[in-house]
Structure 1
Amino acid sequence: MEAVAAAFLFAAVVLSAVVGSPVTLTLERAFPSNDGVELSELRARDSLRHRRMLQSTNYVVDFPVKGTFDPSQVGLYYTKVKLGTPPRELYVQIDTGSDVLWVSCGSCNGCPQTSGLQIQLNYFDPGSSSTSSLISCLDRRCRSGVQTSDASCSGRNNQCTYTFQYGDGSGTSGYYVSDLMHFASIFEGTLTTNSSASVVFGCSILQTGDLTKSERAVDGIFGFGQQGMSVISQLSSQGIAPRVFSHCLKGDNSGGGVLVLGEIVEPNIVYSPLVPSQPHYNLNLQSISVNGQIVRIAPSVFATSNNRGTIVDSGTTLAYLAEEAYNPFVIAIAAVIPQSVRSVLSRGNQCYLITTSSNVDIFPQVSLNFAGGASLVLRPQDYLMQQNFIVSIQALVSFYSFFKGLMSGLHDLRIYR
C-alpha cells in the first residue's frame, strides 16, 4: 500500500467563556520572528509533532501481502517482516489461528532450505543482531505466555521456550528472543514513515511435518491471535498501534491483499460482531442461502460452543462445513441444477461433468449470512473445486477465494457489499 501526498496540519484553538468572565489566551510563536531558523530544524520539530499525532489518531502499520488461496498453487498468504539490527528480511505465513510470531533460526533441524514460492528463504541469527536479547522465565512476557500455553519454562537454563503443534500435524519448537521489528506506518492513508519497536518472537530450532517441505516453504508464521504474546497485542501495549487489524484478501488468481495493524475505513462496509470471550475469532454464521432461499439447517449447527462455531482462520487454505450443514447445502444446490447435467459420485463427493469452465454459470449463487445483516455472496467458482473437467461440491469449500472482507482483530468482521 503506497501513498504519496502533501499533508498540511493545522492546530485550532477553541475559546470558551462564561458570561461576565471573558477569557484571554496569549498565542506565542514557537520560533521568534526575528530569529533565523534552519529548514532542517523546522522539519525536525514537525517530525516530532507528527509522531505524537500518529500515536493519538488514525495510525496504522502496513505489511505487504503475497500468495493466493488456490491450493493447486500457493495455497497460503504470506508477508515480509524485518527483524533485528541490521534488519533481516523474512517471509512469514499470516495466521489468525495462532498467537506467536516465530521464524527459522540458525542450526534449525528440519527447516527447509529452498521454497517453491520463488522466494529466497532466510533465517534469523540473534547473535548477529546488536539489539537482540534472550527472554528468561522471569520475564513478565514469558509468564504471560505460560498462562496461555504459548510459552514454557525449563528450570535448567531459565530460558523461555515454546512448542507448537498445528492442525495439519506439523510442529515447531524453539526459544524466545526480544528484538526490533521494522515496519512502515501510515497516517490517514497518505503519509508513510519508517518505524521500529521492540517485540518478542520465537526462534525456531526444530520443525516437523509439512513445515519441512519445500513446496510452500516460508521462514516462519506470523500469529495474529488475541493473546498477550501476539505482535498486535505487544504493539498495542506500547501505544504504537491500536489493538485492531484489517486483513483483506483479493481472492483471485493474482493473489495478494492488504494487512495492516489498525483500522481501514472504507465506504459500503457491513459489520458483523465477533463472538466475545473465545480463543479464536468466532463469527455468528446464522444461515446459508442458495439462490436467495435459506437452506433448512438447524440453528444449533451454527451455535458457538466448546467444539462448534464458525472460526475465521487465515492460516487454513480451505473452509470446512459440519456434516449437518454440508449435506443440506449440497442437496439445495443439486435441486436447482438442470437435470441434463451429468452427476457422478467420486470419493464420496457429489461431482458434475461439464464441458467448459464457462458452464459453471449453471450453478446457483450462494450466500453466507452473518449476524448484523452481513452477507458474503459466493459465485459458483468460489465454492466449487475444479479438477480437469470435473467440478465437484467438496466438503472442503475454498473459503479464502471469496473472502473479500476487512476483519477487525477484536471487534467485528467487515464485509464489502
Structure 2
Amino acid sequence: MPPASILLVFVTVAVAMEVLPDAAVFGGEGKSLTLTLERTSHNGVEMSQLRDRDRVRHVRFLQQQLTGVVDFQVEGTYDPFIVGLYYTKVKLGTPPKEFYVQIDTGSDVLWVSCNSCNGCPTSSGLQIQLEFFDPTSSSTASLISCSDRRCDLGTQSSDSLCSSQNQCGYRFQYGDGSGASGFYASDLMYFDTIIGNSLASNSSAPIIFGCSTSQTGDLTKMDRAVDGIFGFGQQGFSVVSQLSSQGITPNVFSHCLKGGNGGGGILVLGQIVEPNLVYTPLVPSQPHYNLNLQSIAVNGQILPIDPAVFQTSNNRGTIIDSGTTLAYLSEEAYDPFVNAITQTVSQSVRPLVSKGIQCYLTTSSVSEIFPPASLNFAGGASMLLKPEDYLLQQNSISGAAVWCIGFQKLQGQGITILGDLVLKDKIVVYDLAGQRIGWANYNCKFLLLLFLTIYNY
C-alpha cells in the first residue's frame, strides 16, 4: 500500500474562508498532516494576516503529503423534508458512465440499476439524470460465474443466487422493506487522484459490483430515486474491502456529513484525525456496525434504563447506519429519553403531540432552551448530542416554530439505530483494521474548505 493512500469523497458547495480547526488526514503509515490553527476569532489585522499566511503554508504542506486522493461529489442532506439521504456519483465501465448512488454504511455491496431492470425508476425528484448499466456496452465488463471463487464472497452480504446461465446473483432485503436483486459483474471504477501537487484524472481499479434487474418497495419510488446503493459495510464485496485488499487504500474510512445549509460532506477511504476523537470497540462477529451502548444521559443525568435493553444478541443492539435518515430507540429507552427532555423544557415551551410524536412550540432558539444529551458507550466514549441532533423542525404556528423529537420508537425489537440525524456534524471514523469506531463533534464545512482549497490551489 502506498504510504499515504487516501480515497476522499466530498461535496462541492460554496463556503466562507474561515480558520480551520485542528484536524489531520491519514491514508497510511508514515505521513500525516496536523493543522494547528487558532479557533478563536480576533479583530486585529496582524492576527488575520498571520492566519492567512499559515493557511497557505498548511495547504501547500498538505499537497506535498497527499497521494491517491479521489474526488466523488457528494450531495444530499439528513433532513427528511428536503432529501433525507446522502448520495454521490461513481464512474463505472469503459467508456466510463456515471451513476448516482446512496451512501450506506448499513449494507456491503455497491450496486446500480441494470439495463433490463424491472421496477427501477426512470426519473427522479432529486433532479438528477438516472442511468442504467449495460455490461455489453462496456469493453472491460465481465460477469461473475457461480463457479468463480469470488462468488463465495457474495454469500457474506446477501442471499446467494445462481441463475440457469451460471451467473452469480444476489437478493438484498433492506430494513425499510425495499429490495433489490440481480447479478454480480466486474468492471473498472474510475476516479481522480492527487499525487503531490498534481491532479491525475481517470485512475481506475477493478471492482465487483451488483447489476440490479429488479427493485421493490421504496426503491421503486421516483421522489428520491437514485441509480443504486454504495454499501460501506465490512464484508468482502464492499468497495472498502476490495480496494484495501488491492493495496490501494487502508482498511479504514471516515465521513463528516454536513447538516445545515444544503448538507453535503466528506467521505474518506482513510482516516480523519481530530484531537477530540473518542473510540469505542465494534461488537465482533456482527453483520453491521454494532456498538455497546451502555446508558443515555439528558442534561448530565443518567436515565433509568435497564442496561439489558442495549445488549447485542439475536439481532438486538445498537447500530450505526448512514442509510437511515432518523434515529430509533427501543420503547424501554425512548420513553425515559423523551420524558426527561419534556420535563426540562416544560416551563419554557409549549409541549404538544402531533401524530403520536412529542413536539414543542417555541419562539426561542432550541440550542438555548433544550438540554444536551449523551449516548455513553463501552470504553468511556460518549457521543454528545446537541438539541439539533435529536430534534427536527416540522413547521410553524403563528410565528412560533414547531420542533419534534427526531428519535422514533421501536416497539418489541430491542434495537437502537443511529442514522444521519445523529451522525451529521461529526467526524466519524470506521477503523476496520482496529475494529473500532470513533467520533467527534465537528463543523464539517472546515474539512470541506480544506479539500476544496487543495483542488483550487
TM-score (normalised: structure 1): 0.80
Question: Pick from 169, 177, 189: which aligns with 1:169?
Answer: 177
Matched, 1:197 2:205: yes
Structural mapping, 1:120-131, within 5 Å:
120-131=129-140
User: Shift of residue 341 of structure 1?
Assistant: 3.3
Letter in 2 for 1:231: V
Q: Mind listing any 5+ residue stretches in structure 2 that lack a counterpart?
A: 1-7, 11-64, 397-401, 410-417, 442-457
Checking the alignment, whether the CA contact within 8 Å between 2:106 and 2:233 is kept in structure 1 is: yes
Structure 1 unaligned segments of length 5 or more: list them.
Answer: 3-53
AA in 1 matched with 2:128:
I
Aligned counterpart, 2:414? none
Find the aligned partners of 2:161 and 2:389 in 1 and give their Cα distance.
Answer: 41
Q: Which has the larger radius of gyration?
A: 1
1:235: how far off?
1.4
Q: What secondary structure is seen at the aligned counterpart in 1 of 2:308?
A: helix
2:268 matches 1:260: yes
User: Which aligned runs of 4 or more in structure 1 are off by greater than 6 angstroms?
Assistant: none
Measure the CA separation in 1 of the matches of 2:89 and 2:370: 38
What SS does structure 2 have at the residue aligned with 1:144?
A: helix
1:103 is aligned to 112
Match of 1:140, SS? coil
Partner of residue 118 from structure 1, selected from 123, 127, 132: 127
Separation in 1, partners of 2:329, 2:194: 38
Structure 1 residues 34-183: aligned runs within 5 Å: 61-146=70-155, 148-154=157-163, 156-183=164-191
Structure 2 residue aligned with 1:301, among 304, 309, 316? 309
1:393 lines up with 2:405 in the alignment = yes
- CA RMSD between the two structures: 2.5
How far apart in 1 are the matches of 2:348 and 2:373? 21
Which residue number in structure 1 is paired with residue 237 of structure 2? 229
AA of the residue aligned to 1:415: W
The answer for the alignment partner of 1:415 in structure 2 is 439
Q: CA deviation at 1:205?
A: 1.4
Q: Which amino acid aligns with 1:263?
A: Q
SS at match of 2:89: strand
8 Å Cα contact 1:64/1:259 also seen in 2: no
Where 2:421 maps in the other structure, the secondary structure is coil
Q: Percent identity?
A: 67
Are 2:333 and 1:325 aligned?
yes
Question: Which residue of the partner structure matches residue 18 of structure 1?
Answer: none
Inter-CA distance 409–170: structure 2 relative to 1 (3 Å threshold): farther
Instruction: Name the residue aligned to 2:428.
Output: 406
Deviation at 1:386, TM superposition (A): 2.5
Aligned to 1:6: none
| 2:378 counterpart of 1:371 | yes
Q: Find the aligned partners of 1:65 and 1:230 in 2 and give their Cα distance.
A: 19
Structure 1 residues 157, 399: closer, same or farther in 2, change over 3 A?
closer
User: Are the equivalent residues in 2 in contact too, given 1:182–1:197 (CA < 8 A)?
Assistant: yes
Letter in 1 for 2:78: F
> Is the partner of 2:88 in helix, strand or coil?
strand
The equivalent of 1:278 in structure 2 is: 286
Separation in structure 2 between the aligned mates of residue 412 and residue 192 of structure 1, nearest angstrom:
32
The answer as to 2:269 corresponding to 1:269 is no
How many Å separate the matches in 1 of 2:98 and 2:282? 33
Report deviation, 1:358: 2.8
Question: Contact between 1:61 and 1:184, CA under 8 Å: does it hold in 2?
Answer: yes
